[in-house]
Amino acid sequence: MSFVFAPSATAADALWAETADAAEALVAGEPDGIANMANVAALIWQAIPDLNWAGFYRFDGTELVLGPFQGKAACIRIPLDKGVCGAAARLRATQRVEDVHAFPGHIACDAASRSELVVPVIANDRLVGVLDLDSPSPARFTADDQAGAEALVARIAAALAP
Ligand code: SME
């Protein structure tokens, strides 16, 4: 299968909408949540500028475990009381962090990361994991990025579940 994805928008909201459309098309009919996470991480990495890491951590019932991603090798396990990812999972609320150095408990997987956006993935009221985006630029993620990432996750969350 080849899947052509050529995002053309420049505004963040339109870019996220194009990415969400592509993500929905790619996961349609595929029941494997890990395969779907892999493709969605690749789409985001291709479409969204100024990232140094994009991918998923999966909730194993106890803690977050590294899932499909693009970027440098990362920490494998994150307890829910640690890091930006743990906070998003524990609180089931998006964490948009303008300066990761100012976030208590931030886990520096890639020293280049300066800002971070983490969206919890919830399907049928169950925590599936988190979508984690890192940027080397401070305050990289806007409210539009947050809304766009949340909308993308909401549309495909069921396809990311195990
Ligand atoms: N910075 C994250 C850890 C994951 S890496 O960024 C890929 C955190 O504090 O949870």
> Does the structure show a pLDDT above 80 at 60?
yes
What pLDDT shows up at residue 14? 95
Please compute the mean of the pLDDT values over residues 15-29 and round it to a whole number: 96
Distance CA 49, CA 4 (A): 18
Q: What structural domains and CATH numbers belong to the chain? A: 12-160 (3.30.450.40)
Residue ranges around ligand 1 (CB below 6 Å): 53, 74-75, 78, 83-86, 106-107, 109, 113, 116, 132, 134
pLDDT, tens only, 114-126: 999 999 999 999 9
pLDDT-above-70 percentage for the chain: 99
Mean pLDDT taken over the chain: 96
Distance CA 99, CA 114 (A): 6
* Alpha carbon separation from 29 to 24, 25, 91, 134 (Å, rounded): 10, 9, 30, 29
Q: Which residue has the tokens 């890192």?
A: 134
Please compute the mean of the pLDDT values over residues 72-87 and round it to a whole number: 96
Q: From ligand 1's centre to the CA of 65, what distance in Å? A: 11
Q: Mutation test of ligand 1: which of 99, 106, 114 has the most ligand atoms closer than 8 Å to its C-beta?
A: 106
pLDDT-above-90 percentage for the chain: 91
Please compute the mean of the pLDDT values over residues 90-110 and round it to a whole number: 93
Please compute the mean of the pLDDT values over residues 72-84 and round it to a whole number: 96
Distance CA 64, CA 14 (A): 30
- Nearest-CA residue for atom 1 of ligand 1: 107
Q: Mutation test of ligand 1: which of 51, 78, 114 has the most ligand atoms closer than 8 Å to its C-beta?
A: 78
Rounded to 5°, angle at Cα 24 from 57 and 4: 105
> Does the structure show a pLDDT above 80 at 89?
yes
Distance CA 144, CA 23 (A): 18
Q: Mutation test of ligand 1: which of 107, 114, 133, 140 has the most ligand atoms closer than 8 Å to its C-beta?
A: 107
Beta-sheet strands, E only, within the chain:
53-59, 64-71, 77-78, 95-97, 115-123, 126-135
Please compute the mean of the pLDDT values over residues 90-96 and round it to a whole number: 98
pLDDT, tens only, 25-49: 999 999 999 999 999 999 999 999 9
> Does the structure show a pLDDT above 70 at 1?
no
Please compute the mean of the pLDDT values over residues 98-125 and round it to a whole number: 94
